[in-house]
Amino acid sequence: MNEFPVNSSLRGPAALDPDSRIAVERAVAELRRACLVFLCDAEAAKGPGYLLLSAENADHEALAALHQHGQDQGTCLLLTAPRAQALGLDSEANTPLALDCTGLSLEEIVQLANPAGDSKALALHNRDSLAARIRPFPQLSAEAALELTKLARLLPAAVMQPISQRPDGILSVSPSQIQHYRSTAALMLKQVASAEVPLLGAENTRIVAFRPADGGREHLAIIVGSPRNDHPVLTRLHSECFTGDLLRSLRCDCGDQLRGAIEAMTAEGAGILLYLAQEGRGIGLVNKLRAYRLQDQGADTLEANEALGFDADERIYEPAAEMLKHLGYTRIRLLTNNPEKVADLARHGITVEDRVTHSFPSNGHNEAYLDTKARRFGHMFEI
């Protein structure tokens, strides 16, 4: 099997310059380490702004540092609109909400951010007392802060402290840099390795690895046979699922979809399965386990994701489109029951000439999950 050339002419320009991209990546790393980040306008990196701390990673030491720099005035807990609504608070669609943190303990802050945590029930958690804490907050800065926590694969909640200038030794990043990061990273995928990997039932298979700009987890193209690029190739976009793909969990249908796609491609003689590093509809494995806990308490998949503060589906498919372009394919037949994949690929320059049915029977454990996918996400199941 021949190497697949990179079709660089199909790639658009990066939205961020290298320094801005690196600033976001370093800020993400700092948040994951429970460190502070300074959020301010890029043109005024020494001027006023906000100290930002991930609510999930907040501890007594980090909160003390935050208050030391800001004199403990105006500290707010930022929540996404879905999380605010799950707490019974009025919030406009897609508009973050800020709660005054004055008098709140660390445990209370963490509990407000994480409904799947182990904290004891708090008397604070009633609608009227929380509503009295709502404070105005600049929307652009709030959206950027919460997006940064998502990029860090943490719960989308942040503790914010206004300060007059950036303290020495704390990384600075701007809302505009954060806003344009995802599209930039998608355009900067780099092919880093490829090898022939015979699979059970699909011995003529090659795997090509693409690394994102932040050096994070790679996306994989699993190429069965030798697909021609002069007519539509059978393709599957498969978001990784550790529990379903590897452990064969019965809570979902992901393992069936993965193995079924490879079987279909083998039967046809060729195909491309893009294995995308966006576990749990893009919220990550840890947050997926938190969502499972909420589902065990009665929430469905969509409700659990929103209770954690995420959108119903956080996945993006621009990286998949870029991978196909790298490999020299722009026309496909897509194995999917999700119409959003068809629409999103089209927005990014991939022509989906046919949606190929890709559904599997329930297994006695995933009926509610499949029902939610059909009823609330619009998936089209044809068994």
Which of 253, 256, 311, 313 does the annotation list as catalytic? 313
CB 373 within 8 A of CB 379: yes
- Total residue count of the chain as it appears in this document: 383
Instruction: Provide the residue type at 212 as one letter.
Output: P
Concatenated DSSP letters of 61-104: HHHHHHHHHHTT-S-EEEE-HHHHHHTT----TT--EEEE-TT-
> Which residues lie below 8 Å from residue 240, measured CB to CB, with a gap of 6+?
275, 276, 277, 278, 279
**Residue 82, both tokens:** 């879905």
Question: What CA–CA distance (Å, rounded) separates 31 from 296?
Answer: 29
CA distance 262 to 270: 9
| 315 given a catalytic annotation | yes
User: Do residues 78 and 96 touch, judged by C-beta distance below 8 A?
Assistant: yes
Q: Given strand 270-276, what is the order of strands in its sheet?
A: 190-196, 205-211, 219-225, 270-276, 233-239, 331-335, 351-356
Q: Which of 315, 331, 347, 371 is catalytic?
A: 315
Q: Which residue, chain included where needed, has tokens 């068994």? A: 383
Phi/psi of residue 191, nearest 5 degrees: -75, 125
Q: What is the DSSP letter of 10?
A: G
182 catalytic? Reply is no
Identify the bridge partners of residue 199 per DSSP, sorted by sequence position: 202
Residue 153 dihedral angles phi and psi, to the nearest 5°? 60, 35
User: CA-to-CA distance for 324 and 274, rounded, in angstroms?
Assistant: 9
What three-state secondary structure class fits 161?
strand
Angle between helix axes 18-32 and 139-151 (nearest 10 degrees) is 70
- How far apart CA 271 and CA 236 sit, in angstroms, is 8
Q: Which residues are catalytic?
A: 313, 315
